[in-house]
Chain A
Amino acid sequence: MSSLEWSNNKVKEAWQTACAQLELELSHGVYYTWILPNPLTDVVVCEGRVVATINSPSGFHSTNLRSKLGVHLQRVLSSVIGKPVEINYQIGSPSARKQKQSQSADSSSSSSSNSNNNNNKSMPTVSSARNHTQSPRANDLFSQASIESVEKNQVITRAKNIGLRHDYTFETFAVSSSNEMAHAAATAVSKNPGETYNPLFLYGGVGVGKTHLMHAIGHNILLHQPTAKVIYSTGEEFTNQIVNAIRTKSTINFKERYRTADILLLDDVQFIAGKNSVQEEFFHTFNALTKNNKQIVLTSDRPPHEILLLENRLRSRLEAGLMIDIQQPSFELRTAILLIKSKAANIPIEIEMAKMIAARVDSARKIGGILNSLKSAIELKGQELTMELIEQTLMTEADQKRPKIKTNIQGVIKTVSDHYHLKQQAVKGKSRKKKLTMARHVAMYICKEDLREPYAEIGRWFSGRDHSTVLHAYHKIQEIINEDDSLAQEVSAIRMSLSGM
């Protein structure tokens, strides 16, 4: 189909010619009322047909022009253009209409969810209004600055309503080798939700930053798509909601809520394992969302294949996306996290102090706790920030924050032996094989550090060793832990299993 649109100048010229002719033929009043305000704005030649568009300022003009002068106008335009024309009557300013057309075209092609959002593309300028109002110095409501500041406010509020922590953003996330993969995947997902990695499955131990990354994805998506429907929930909340929905016979609302999400963030997904109806519901939600390319992000403390009692069909789906393991933060990363957090909390910690804390604390979460106690010591008690204060805080904090281990020396020895796949008798015994001494020292260290048993008592359990031997082992492990992350991780892993006993 070949269609040809006349240039503006040519249209204008034709209209002027037509006007000159019409002015002669019509009375003054008729010409000025019905012809002049209703100009020819478009001529399109298409397959031998010529369509001329007449633009009227109101429905009154258009209706009357068509019925009273339509034939006349058509005759004149045909003679000016040189071919029989059809007239297309339109109302409204042509520029506004064109804008609308192009807008509806691209808004329908993009998505339907941003319905109240598609009138923001071109901002009418305000300079003309400014000259007329009496309050020249009032800032304009629709100025760029005002819109931006309110948008930020709106995003923060939305994030808050969704349940995202405002300080868990990418800006406050320290990256190092242990979590750079996860960070890269999270940023990619937040830039193109539903397209890159779906689902994104992050797993790792306590305080490695899974939740932080997940919240950051939520924030970043909201920032770019303020109207996106983001749902954040923990596995436990998800479970409770289903139970509630079943009880109140409102499962339909529950389904509606989750299956219309654009982004689903489900924290600690391992909690749904073993609960059949919950898994079933999650399975269907999962399918409904992925089918429509809606992003799902999940976190867990272990990979899917290690989550026992997880249905196979669900496991295979979780494994179908991208799974990333986040390691315990290294010493350097802990230092960096500490510096970021201290800056946010407004505590001027120097790098040496930061290193000292990072050396003694193994998870990012504990760093927060230490900083809080430091902050209260400084602000409430008026103490000064010194190495001594930090030392003091670390002593008390480390005790309080560590999960309570409710077992005895026998329990520790058993768990340590199991961890290293050694026999308990060998660990307790006299052999000096390197593998054995290491496990023995770790066991001693935990007995001292966590159970607070006297050195002599610990010594007795290990073939009646002297208390100084235990003391030596304790210091040795402490030293290694502060420098070597792999041992620190092993110890904290053992602690985890102990605290679960």
Chain B
Amino acid sequence: MKLELLQENLTAALNQLHRIIPNKPQLSILSSILLEAKNNSISLSATDLYVGIKTKVAGKVIKPASIAIPGRIFHNSIATLDPGKLELSLKGDTLTITSANNTITIACLAADEFPEFPQLDGKAISLEADSLERIQNMVGFSASVDPTRPVLTALLLQFDQEGLLVVGTDGFRLATLKLSALKNKEGEQTQILIPAKAMNEAARIAVVQDTVKIGLRIAEELKQAEIEIDNTRLYVRLIDGEYPPFNKIIPAQFTTEIELDGKEFESQLKRAQVFARESSNIIRLQIRDGEMRIISASPAFGRQEGVMGVEVIRGKDGEIAFNSRYLLDFISAHKPEKISFYMNESLSPAMFRPTQQQDYKYIVMPFRVNE
């Protein structure tokens, strides 16, 4: 094997791969990066057998071959080199990297020991990178990080005639986003569960690569999804299981609807958070006479109460208590100028939404407060 490429390009590619390389795998080949050079295309792959990334690097192939290179060593040594042209050549199982000032040799493993990537057939769904970013920012944070309920660590993607519906929930709050542009013409409804982490990773790669279009290919049989971001392909294991009945906990109507200023609400919440932190993050919202009181108390340190003017669109006065973290998550994800808040009784799920975003819902379960 012999090839030439730029250090800048190689480092960028390795930066994407190295985070999924497992630390101490039982099978040592898994800590390698597969380098495949053929017909003027150079690709690098890594996998922990649950997630896989394959990415292409620009360069010149002089003599094609494939080899599995120890990942960490490869990444770290290339990263420290100066930018410029690199020459990679292979003799037996030894890779030699030559730069202007350095020569590195690494002992490698045969390429055929490296695990094969599953083959996904079928048509890819095309997605704007913006949409992926919206999914990530607006829904991603609602998913659970608790590995004991794997289903909730996933985002639900539901394609049907009305578009793509994305849902994320951790069992206490739930976010849904409807992307109506993505209609499933065949009319059949498909649902998949993609790990929120993988979506996050895809969104990150898309930002780094400045991608416009993203392809999504799903293989139900293999329980695998492939996200194509320009030259990079992300292989993700779909999560198996039954997603909670999210449709059943989104109220169809609310008795109270108010609008409030996003910035002001955020600063009020942050102030309330100081005391709430001591008492399971509970903050109480009282809506009365066109005002909202934000109250938090800590048994040990005291309490605070803030008031802000709100616009009551309809409904009556009310009181409700939330985990302030859930509200702050929502605000920091959207930075909304205006927030619409909807509620029924103080123990029923309530809804937040940036006033402008009709296609988005953030449902939060309130606290039961005895006072």
Contact = CB atoms under 8 A, between A and B. Distances in A.
Contacts of B251: 150, 153-154
A57 to B, nearest CB: 7
Nearest to A99: B242
Given A91-B222, A116-B189, A134-B281, A146 B242 contact: no
What does DSSP make chain B's interface, helix, strand, loop or mixed? loop
A60 B253 contact: no
Contacts of A136: 280
A482 B36 CA distance: 99
Interface stretch (A62-70, A333-341, A378-386): A62-70
A60 to B, nearest CB: 4
B50 A60 contact: yes
B121 interface: no
B224 A59 contact: yes
Interface in A438-459: none
Interface stretch (B66-74, B92-100, B168-176, B310-318): B168-176
A135 B223 contact: no
B323 A135 contact: yes
Interface in B216-230: 219, 221-224
Contact of B253 (A28, A29, A126, A157): A157
B171 A63 contact: no
- Interface extent on A, as a size class? 35 or more
Interface string A163-205: 0000000000000000000000000000000000000000000
B59 to A, nearest CB: 27
A138 B322 CA distance: 8
Interface stretch (A42-50, A117-125, A360-368, A471-479): A117-125
Given A134-B281, A154-B251, A141 B363 contact: yes
Interface in B29-57: 29-30, 47, 49-50, 52
B47 A133 contact: no
Nearest to B322: A138
What does DSSP make chain A's interface, helix, strand, loop or mixed? helix
A149 B344 CA distance: 10
A135 B364 CA distance: 13
A133 B173 CA distance: 12
A138 B28 contact: no
Contacts of A122: 242
A64 B149 CA distance: 27
B249 A142 contact: yes
Interface in A129-148: 129, 132-142, 146-147
A124 B28 contact: no
B296 interface: no
A59 B252 contact: no
A138 B172 contact: yes
A149 B241 CA distance: 25
B203 interface: no
B240 interface: yes
A168 to B, nearest CB: 18
Contact of B248 (A59, A135, A151): A151
Contacts of A96: 240-242
A135 B118 contact: no
Contact of A141 (B148, B241, B252, B349): B349
Given A60-B235, A153-B252, A138 B365 contact: yes
Interface of B: 25-30, 47, 49-50, 52, 115-119, 144, 146, 148-149, 151-152, 169-174, 189, 219, 221-224, 235, 237, 240-245, 247-253, 280-282, 323, 325, 344, 347-349, 363, 365-368
Given A137-B368, A150-B248, A158-B252, 16 more contacts: A28-B26, A29-B28, A32-B27, A59-B224, A62-B118, A123-B245, A124-B151, A129-B152, A133-B170, A135-B323, A138-B365, A138-B367, A139-B365, A139-B367, A146-B249, A150-B348
Interface of A: 28-30, 32-34, 57-64, 67, 91-93, 96-97, 99-100, 115-117, 119-120, 122-124, 126, 128-129, 132-142, 146-147, 149-151, 153-154, 156-158, 160
